[in-house]
Amino acid sequence: MNRIAMVTGATSGIGRATALRLAESGFRMIITARRADELAAVAEEIRAIGGDVHTIVFDVRDREACREAVATLPEEWKEIYLLVNNAGLALGLEPEFEGDFADWDTMIDTNIKGLLNMTRFVVPGMVERNSGHVVNIGSVAGDAAYANGNVYCATKAAVKTITDGLRLDLVDTAVRVTNIKPGLVETDFSRVRFHGDEKRAESVYKGIKPLTGADIADVVAYAALAPAHVQIAEVLVLATHQGSGSVICRK
């Protein structure tokens, strides 16, 4: 395989696991993130398993940086076949009427605008080549709001709608579109949400065996490696003892 995959937010969690899983599957990897040192470490992991990798450090919230990142790719990296819009985060878990404005802006700018930025700059090339695949990492939170999840849930509901809209817009092409919606995944997600409060973050996964980044990476790979006539439109992935975004059995 000589296909190129781009994964945003590739330094940890689902993004890192997806980059490694796709490299193992033969994709040439473009990995992006804001943190240069951590991105370099993931690139070394990919090289250690025999993968080919190109790194770009930028923030998906910065539209001009997104445009430049795609426009200035070396010639041998330009034909992106698979875009995994993974960069995203949750910040805070307070009632909407007590929410933090900065947290709201960061979630909206990253989870929605960042995804749109990358889609806008990468997908035209896929359409021109009539070949490609966009995988957006959504969330079970996009299906129904849960208490104090308000703005985060809204951003992931937007991811679902944006993904569905893109699939409709590309129906006359060979470009596939997938929305993967994880439930509880034990990554840095909760540490980020609670601004580094380790004790509070650990409590999220107490009494249940959560999913891992590798579990979601396997689903990304399954969708990406399906036969060309098969479009995995949407996948909801939950831990066994999780029934929905708000129904969890803890033992």
Instruction: Please give the pLDDT value at position 28.
Output: 98
The question of whether 81 is a catalytic residue gets the answer no
The token pair at 187 is 């990554």
Instruction: Please give the pLDDT value at position 2.
Output: 78
The token pair at 75 is 């010639």
Instruction: Please give the pLDDT value at position 1.
Output: 66
Beta bridge partners of 82: 5, 133
- According to CATH, what is the number of the domain 4-237? 3.40.50.720
Alpha-carbon gap, residue 6 to 54, rounded angstroms: 9
pLDDT in tens, the chain (251 residues): 679 999 999 999 999 999 999 999 999 999 999 999 999 999 999 999 999 999 999 999 999 999 999 999 999 999 999 999 999 999 999 999 999 999 999 999 999 999 999 999 999 999 999 999 999 999 999 999 999 999 999 999 999 999 999 999 999 999 999 999 999 999 999 999 999 999 999 999 999 999 999 999 999 999 999 999 999 999 999 999 999 999 999 99
| Domain locations along the chain | 4-237
Neighbouring residues of 239: CB distance < 8 A, sequence distance ≥ 6: 183, 184, 208, 209, 210, 211, 248
pTM: 0.97
Alpha-carbon gap, residue 170 to 147, rounded angstroms: 35
Alpha-carbon gap, residue 112 to 149, rounded angstroms: 16
- Give me the phi and psi of 241, to 5 degrees please: -100, 25
